[in-house]
Amino acid sequence: MTEPQPDTPEAAARAPRDPDRLIERAGLRGDPNQDQHFLVDDRVLARIPEYLPEDADTSHVLEVGGGTGALTDRLLRIADRVTVVERDSRLAAFLREEFAAEVENGRLTVLEGDALELDLPEFTACVSNLPYGISSEITFRLLPRGVPLVLMFQKEFGERMAAESGTSEYGRLSVSAQHYGDVEVVETVPKGAFSPAPAVESVVVRVTPRDPDYEVDDESFFLDFVKALFTQRRKTIRNGIRNTAHISGLSDPEAVVDAADEATLRKRAGKMSPSEFAALATLADEHGR
């Protein structure tokens, strides 16, 4: 069986599908109550796939939230294969009809269902205009896969992902996301780029996977420990450790306080770098669990 091939030069030269015409053919308007905001700005649609790292493997690209297929169409131009997840049965049926040739030749697979519940296939990159209501949950399902991600988020969420320690946006989301890769906000997208327009601006975020510059023996505990301390971000690390054992899973938080150095204990979570969190989590794992 031969591997599916990307578009021929003739096919690639065809004009991209018009996003407004796609909405017309689908016969469905976006529903904000269902987290449906269709991206209709041709210029933004053209740029999004280009934000993948130059050396990204595009042999199998995942798209979460296909909508009417405007981004799907652009992804099929740069990928050997695309799998799109769409929870709206009407839109899933439209995608299969609109892209019948690509489905037939094996270049496009449409998975109907909730991306948080479906068994996702192996994929080499993910490019998506995510449903904003599941941004956090789906992002942390994608990050451990260790592949390049180009994802659309509400502006506040994306900026928090990329925030550096010591800034007001820096928090649990920043540390957890940056544990898996380099996180960059690569474009701000205005409300008018969508139909219907959302209530807030959006951003495109690129995550380039890389190993962290620190080691943690138990990744799950590390992430829970970070989560716990940020629930007490206005308190010192000393009090945060003592007050959040029910979240972090520590059985002896006082032993961790006794073992940690005073300079760390006086800090607050917003001033701790990911590597400092990792060192403290390692100490907590050793002395307090």
- Cα torsion 34, 78, 210, 139 to 10°: value is 10
Q: Is 246 annotated as a binding residue?
A: no
DSSP per residue over 153-222, as a string?
Answer: EEHHHHHHHHPPTTSTT-SHHHHHHHTTEEEEEEEEE-GGGEESPPSS-EEEEEEEE---SS--S-HHHH
To which H or E segment does residue 49 belong?
A: none
Q: How far apart are CA 82 and CA 157, in angstroms?
A: 26
Provide the CB-side half-sphere exposure for 221 (13 A, CA).
Answer: 19
Q: Is 118 annotated as a binding residue?
A: no
At position 42, the amino acid (one-letter code) is: D
Q: How far apart are CA 154 and CA 204, in angstroms?
A: 9
Q: Is 37 annotated as a binding residue?
A: yes
Q: Is 276 annotated as a binding residue?
A: no
Positive/negative CA dihedral, 207, 213, 219, 221 = negative
- Positions of E strands within the chain: 38-39, 60-64, 81-86, 108-112, 125-129, 149-154, 181-189, 194-195, 202-209
For residues 17 and 43, is the Cβ–Cβ distance under 8 A?
no
Task: Please give the DSSP secondary-structure letter assigned to residue 55.
Answer: T
The first and second tokens of residue 136, run together, are: 């956090």
Q: Is 114 annotated as a binding residue?
A: yes
Binding-site annotation: residue ranges: 37, 39, 65, 86, 114, 129
Binding-site annotation: residue ranges for S-adenosyl-L-methionine: 37, 39, 65, 86, 114, 129
